């Protein structure tokens, strides 16, 4: 698995997020990322958890919404 910390994710919506932490859990990549503002600076008020999903050799990123799993990942990543 490639280290993606400090890399920028660009979502289909055009929003950009910088990856702050990465974890591999049960073979899948998970990220904590901060949204970038118009000056490409991280916004501490907009942090999301993402899950990397590979389908037919294409990498897709989905936002995590399960609050219990997010809490677990947060403790697993040990900020």
The confidence band for 79, taking pLDDT boundaries of 50, 70 and 90, is low
Residue 14, token pair as written in the block = 């055009």
Q: Which residue has the higher pLDDT, 1 or 16?
A: 16
Neighbours of 6 (CB within 10 A): 9
> What are the pLDDT digits (tens) for 20-36?
999 999 999 999 999 99
pLDDT of the residue at 44: 87
pTM of the model: 0.88
46 Cβ contact list (under 8 Å, min separation 6)? 34, 35
């Amino acid at each position: 698995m490639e280290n993606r910390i400090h890399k920028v994710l660009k979502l289909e919506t055009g929003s950009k997020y910088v990856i702050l932490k990465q974890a591999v859990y049960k073979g899948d990549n998970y990220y904590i990322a901060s949204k970038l503002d118009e000056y490409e600076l991280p916004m501490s008020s907009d942090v999301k958890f993402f899950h990397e999903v590979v389908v037919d050799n294409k990498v897709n990123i989905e936002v995590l919404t399960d609050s219990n799993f997010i809490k677990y990942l947060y403790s697993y990543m040990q900020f």
